[in-house]
Structure 1
């Protein structure tokens, strides 16, 4: 099978990761795959780093001349590469791929079109979107149940066309590392009695670093003296200096660390005693949650996006609520039986969310539409 993965994303965010990881899985499994990426972007660099062939296209432009040039580039790529499936991971350019599909339908260059919706915005219920997703796309992939229900209940896309695929985690790479745990805890000066809470994610308001810092500070004031905070993140929409200012203002500089970019993420995750997803919205693709769970660390989370699809209700709390977050942290830090229960539930769940299952689910979908 030959596929095109359309990943015209400016940043290496969860949407870009989902598409790029899927493309690498397909390529490794023997399915020739090309990545359509934006030139000089983190996504293009990551595709190259992962050994994938990136094709640069200006799919995000609104300039008529550039759109015409891009459409010609698309046509040449399809007639030369002859993909069986084109999978669009962003909305920009989806209309162009839909028009090209219609133009080539019934001929030797016909292809099937899939739209994967992994961003936080629900699609608008208008005539164009209903036409694109119902009449043009052969299948729609939602990365969480909220998005899937929106397609069926609001846009009235037939349920047979809507598929929920959460993604997956590299189970060979992300696994609990006891030696790495010991090394990283020693590096940051953690003692045996310290309880290390970790938040994995880029520095951005949506990720809830500020609320997590405030919750940890509140617990410290309440006498939870062994709490420690590890932020596994780096500059993004929010500069690191701002995050450091939050730590300083809340008086927890001495019990907090920022790892920055690390090559030993698995060891850092293994060094945690619990992980937290504190996102205030979004989290429609839960890469960080999957990696924490795969490293056998108990996880608590806000109840946003895909998280209710992954965790039991007992592991979740309200978003942007510092008091609720502090209560959740206190419970996971003080109740060993609760931690064991979370770990048992989440280890059972993560076994169905590996990269291999991500690949198998996607191939099953692709093969089903190719048979039609």
Structure 2
């Protein structure tokens, strides 16, 4: 099987792909259109062959034919595409190469945005035109499935396979907590609030920066990720007088890797005291689940992964509907109530990566048989 993805920097879809490939009982290779970053290195370390197509941009039409040639030469049984650009180009290229068993996963589709960018009629039309070239489209949550139906994708072609997590990797570890805090110079008694994800406007991390300015001096804010909003967030922290209490870690490896001196993401979650996720529109909420797996309380605005579960499945996750003031009030309450034992809620066990891999293999088996995954020819 060939997995085609837009890029392999550190991101939820990219890390999810690496986790899946560790568990799929199939021979898989990966092709990235652009940006072979830390996840590409991790895949290579896992023994997965990774090819960089070197796509120059959306107008690099030659990349389409290079991609078709790669698929044809690889004689793949199935092509699985991830993220918008890879889905559009990958489905066309697979058809040109004579591969009809094509599956696509929608990781980052929202009501008004796609992968953090505003949607428009052209994007939707191109997506729908190429979607018909595949055999199945995987939605990572019922929320995404509903949006696809609203776009006009036939219901029988949509299959919900939620993201999964390897909960054991995120289990709280006191030693990793101390090591990560020492690495970044965090005082042992500091109350560490964290945000995890790409530094893009849709994540609304500025809400956490404004909340920091309303909190006591022993509170620290850690922005774990990288992206184009980084400089703006630094300026905002300086303007609010809290730059000395905010730390930006940049991209962190999702799994331990000796080639990177920085702590990995699970270590940083052990170092935190609470996670804040203020994005108004998420397609799944993977960072929320990972934080819950580390036993952290979570304040979030959107987490479809929790929406279909009863409240008792994640008792320490609380949805916040207001702005910085609402987050600051809840953070102040949590800060005053500490310490708290860390417990892994039932919501985490509901999203096992092993279960996700089994569900995906069911889709693959049906597609390769020439039927849709519901058994219809």
Q: Specify if TM > 0.5.
A: yes
- Give the counterpart of 1:81 among 44, 54, 74: 74
Residue 229 of structure 1 pairs with residue 225 of structure 2: no
Residue 60 to residue 140, structure 1, CA distance change in 2 (3 Å) = farther
Distance across 1 between alignment mates of 2:138 and 2:199: 28
Aligned residues: 344
Q: Report SS of the residue matched to 1:246.
A: helix
Residue 146 to residue 77, structure 1, CA distance change in 2 (3 Å) = same
Q: Report SS of the residue matched to 2:138.
A: strand
Q: Quote the residue 1:332 is aligned against.
A: 334
Residue 230 to residue 51, structure 1, CA distance change in 2 (3 Å) = farther
- Deviation at 1:212? 0.8
Residues 103 and 135 in structure 2, CA contact (< 8 A), matched pair in contact too: yes
Q: Which structure would you say has the larger Rg?
A: 1
Deviations 1:11-66 (A, max 9, x none): 5433333334433443xx4x111111135542645544554212233567455xx5
Q: Quote the residue 1:349 is aligned against.
A: 347
Distance across 1 between alignment mates of 2:89 and 2:249: 42
- Deviation at 1:101? 4.8
Q: Report SS of the residue matched to 1:303.
A: coil
Residue 32 to residue 316, structure 1, CA distance change in 2 (3 Å) = same
Q: Report SS of the residue matched to 2:151.
A: coil
Residue 60 to residue 349, structure 1, CA distance change in 2 (3 Å) = farther
Distance across 1 between alignment mates of 2:87 and 2:246: 43
Q: Quote the residue 1:315 is aligned against.
A: 318
Deviations 1:275-300 (A, max 9, x none): 11122x45335332232122111211
- Once the two structures are superposed, the pairs formed by residues 218-297 of structure 1 within 5 Å of their partners are 218-220=214-216, 228-233=219-224, 235-239=226-230, 242-253=232-243, 255-260=245-250, 261=252, 262-279=262-279, 281-297=280-296
TM-score (norm 1): 0.77
Q: Quote the residue 1:303 is aligned against.
A: 302
Deviations 1:80-124 (A, max 9, x none): 3332221111333544544455556xxxx6441112112243576
Runs of at least 5 residues in structure 1 that lack an aligned partner in the other structure: none
Distance across 1 between alignment mates of 2:242 and 2:127: 48
- Deviation at 1:336? 6.6
- Deviation at 1:6? 0.8
Residues 228 and 256 in structure 1, CA contact (< 8 A), matched pair in contact too: no
Deviations 1:308-330 (A, max 9, x none): 457949711126x1122223323
Residue 5 of structure 1 pairs with residue 3 of structure 2: yes
- Deviation at 1:252? 3.5
Distance across 2 between alignment mates of 1:132 and 1:237: 29
Q: Quote the residue 2:135 is aligned against.
A: 138
Residue 167 of structure 1 pairs with residue 156 of structure 2: no
Q: Quote the residue 2:147 is aligned against.
A: 150
Q: Quote the residue 1:34 is aligned against.
A: 29
Residues 176 and 270 in structure 1, CA contact (< 8 A), matched pair in contact too: yes
- Deviation at 1:370? 2.3
Q: Report SS of the residue matched to 1:32.
A: coil
Residues 185 and 271 in structure 1, CA contact (< 8 A), matched pair in contact too: yes
Distance across 1 between alignment mates of 2:187 and 2:281: 34
TM-score (norm 2): 0.76
Q: Report SS of the residue matched to 2:169.
A: coil
Distance across 1 between alignment mates of 2:87 and 2:201: 29
Distance across 2 between alignment mates of 1:93 and 1:264: 27
| RMSD, aligned CA | 3.5
Q: Report SS of the residue matched to 1:332.
A: helix
Runs of at least 5 residues in structure 2 that lack an aligned partner in the other structure: 253-261, 372-377
Q: Report SS of the residue matched to 1:275.
A: strand
Deviations 1:131-177 (A, max 9, x none): 543x432111122332210112x233333321223322233422110
Q: Which has the higher helix share?
A: 1
